[in-house]
Amino acid sequence: MPAGFGSRLAADSSPNTGRVSENMTDNLSHPNSPEARDSASLIHPLTNLKTHLEKGGLVIEEGDGVWVTDIHGKKYIEGMSGLWCLSLGYGQERLVEAAAKQMRRLPYYHLTNHKSHQPAIDLAEKLLEIAPVPMSKVWFANSGSEGNDSAARIVWYYWHAKGQPEKRKIIAHQRAYHGNTIASASMSGMYYNHASFGLPLDGFLHVTPPHHYRYANPGEDEEAFASRLADELDALIIAEGPETVGAFFAEPIMGSGGVIVPPPTYFKKIQAVLDKHDILLIADEVITAFGRTGNMFGTTTMDLTPDMLVCAKGLSSAYLPISALMVNARVFEVISEESDRVGVFGLSFTYSGHPVSAAVAREALRIYEDENIVEHVRAMEPHFLGGLKKLLDHPLVGEVRGKGLLAGVELVHDKSTGEAFDPAYQVGPYCADRAEAHGVILRAIGDTISFCPPLVIDKQEIEELILRFRHALDDTLAMVQEQGWLSAR
Ligand SMILES: Cc1ncc(COP(=O)(O)O)c(C=O)c1O
């Protein structure tokens, strides 16, 4: 079905259209303002670079709990934990102390050539202890992208070692986001990661995302939808040749694709297909790990049995860059034998397991336990998701979906049919801009507004967040009515 107006399928729109408030433009007229200096010096990720030159950006100065303050003193609820990462909020002194202590003692050492250090050992042991399925060893990198890139490399190494070097195709979901290195951008299913970059590389394939509201056939329930997608995967693998397909990468709940929660039996059905064709499953838990979905791992919430699991972001609560890739015994045994044959395991990053990042991540894992973060998320979930679901009474809100403290609210042209707005109208980005004007930072993914607040958020702050968002929705409704863009009802 073609994307866009007149279809139920919401097209992607640019994650940041460059729509910014007039204040920002005003601030650019002062050449020494941080906004003007920013526009004159920085290239911004996921930003319209041209518009940014003219309009500038929002410069944040400090954070406290779930709040951030910009350089003009305006306060915002950070409704996205930055980029889905600042799980423990601002002001976690224990993390600051852990970093300072480790920096004084051993600010750097590496893990190559049989060297090691205590922070990496402590963190690896703890991750293996809390892993949602039995895992054997941990590989560290600096970002989610590098974690997924490493996992792709290990997939290729693994099948090479097993005497099947042609078994290297990787399947992921359309609209998935797995990162921005060349391999992880290739496995991502976002148009903006591929367009004009000549990506994806050959051998990266994409299947329909498990989003019932958008992709189900008329009258198809969740169970039948999940079965159809599993059949689609099976057919793709057979068409490609199972001997050429090495792995399937999946987020337990898709984040940047629009917060997509698969049907409950989806992964069981997918797993059966992968097992049938002897294909590895990699869980990308870069967003979903460490309490976000109401369990320590999204793998538990969505019932997967991955061979490898990638986590990052909440691992250090974003206080320092670090990611971890856990591999099970099946994978480790093969790659360890292969490294013996080759001479060394040829994957290496200078900062793999950086001691300061590792010490901070280990302390973050202590805080998750000491503060009972998973219990807190479960206690907050009804207020958060329940509060957002009340917005279904709003003329613009078609679907509210989520788990734990992760949610998406999809704005639609016609609630009765779920018909999407014309993406050119940029309704979602307008709504996110209005939310920012009302003092809450959210993100528009097409016309889905995503929510991923710090896990330490309390009930009053959730109520405040939702109230401010409702004001943004009302402003958006007024705008679409004025433009005559709302379906007659
Ligand atoms: C599910 C998922 N995987 C991987 C990544 C890439 O992580 P990073 O930006 O740390 O490279 C992201 C980033 O948002 C993500 O959401």
CATH class of 93-370: alpha beta
Q: What is the pLDDT of residue 248?
A: 98
**pTM of this prediction?**
0.95
Test site for ligand 1: of 142, 145, 351, most ligand atoms within 8 A of the Cβ? 145
In the reported structure, the alpha carbon of residue 146 is separated from the centroid of ligand 1 by a whole-number distance in angstroms of: 9
pLDDT at residue 22, rounded to an integer: 57
Q: Is the pLDDT of residue 488 over 90?
A: no
* pLDDT at res. 26: 74
- pLDDT given at position 352: 98
* DSSP conformation class of 242: G
- Is residue 418's pLDDT more than 70? yes
Which of 127, 101, 129 is closest to 360 using CA atoms? 101
**pLDDT over 70 for what percent of the chain?**
94
Across the range 320-349, mean pLDDT stands at 98
Structure tokens, 247: 């792995």
Cβ < 6 A, ligand 1 pocket? 83-84, 143-145, 148, 177-179, 251, 255-256, 284, 286-287, 312
Residue with more model confidence, 408 or 1: 408
Average pLDDT value for residue range 23-43: 86
User: How much is the average pLDDT of 357-367?
Assistant: 99
C-alpha 283 – ligand 1 centre gap (Å):
12
The pLDDT score that the predictor gives to residue 240 is 98
- Reply yes or no on whether the pLDDT at 454 is more than 80: yes
How sure is the predictor about 8, in pLDDT bands with cuts at 50, 70 and 90? very low
Mutate-to-test residue for ligand 1 from 83, 149, 177, highest number of ligand atoms within 8 A of CB: 177
CA of 144 to the centre of ligand 1 (A): 5
Give the pLDDT band (50/70/90) at residue 10: very low
Q: Ligand 1 center to residue 328 CA distance, Å?
A: 22
Please name the residue whose Cα sits nearest to atom 4 of ligand 1: 178
Cα(286) to centroid of ligand 1, in Å? Answer: 6
375 pLDDT above the threshold of 90: yes
Determine the residue type at 339: S
Residue to mutate (ligand 1; options 286, 310, 325; most atoms within 8 A of CB)? 286
pLDDT recorded at residue 159: 98
Instruction: State in Å: Cα 235 to ligand 1 middle.
Output: 29
Nearest in space to 376 (alpha carbons), one of 315, 284, 296, 259: 296
Q: Which atom of ligand 1 is nearest to 313's Cα?
A: 10
> Residue range 347-371: average pLDDT?
98
**CA pair distance 37, 28, nearest whole angstrom:** 8
Average pLDDT over residues 135-161: 98
Task: Give the tens place of pLDDT for each residue, 13-23.
Answer: 334 444 445 56
Residue 295 has pLDDT above 60, yes or no: yes
Query: Which is the closest atom of ligand 1 to the Cα of 179?
Result: 6
The pLDDT of residue 21 is 56
Q: What pLDDT, in 10s, does the model give residues 70-94? A: 999 999 999 999 999 999 999 999 9
Handedness of CA 217, 222, 228, 233 (dihedral sign): positive
Q: Which atom of ligand 1 is nearest to the CA of 84?
A: 14
CATH class of 22-90+373-483: alpha beta
Closest alpha carbon to 309 in 297, 296, 295, 294: 297
Task: Answer whether residue 5 shows pLDDT above 70.
Answer: no
- The atom of ligand 1 lying closest to the CA of 176 is 1
Q: Calculate how far, in angstroms, residue 140's C-alpha sits from the geometric centre of ligand 1.
A: 15
The whole-number average pLDDT for the span 386-413 is 98
* Ligand 1 nearest atom to the CA of residue 144, by list position: 7
pLDDT of 276 strictly over 70? yes
What value does the mean pLDDT take over residues 375-381? 98
Mutate to test the pocket of ligand 1, among 287, 292, 311, 349 (most ligand atoms within 8 A of CB): 287
Region 98-124: mean pLDDT is 98
CA of 255 to the centre of ligand 1 (A): 9
Q: What is the mean pLDDT of residues 184-189?
A: 98
In our burial notation (b when 16+ CB lie closer than 10 A, e otherwise), range 147-181 reads: bbbbbbebbbbbbbbeeeeebbbbbbbbbbbbbbb
Domain extent listing, the chain? 22-90+373-483, 93-370
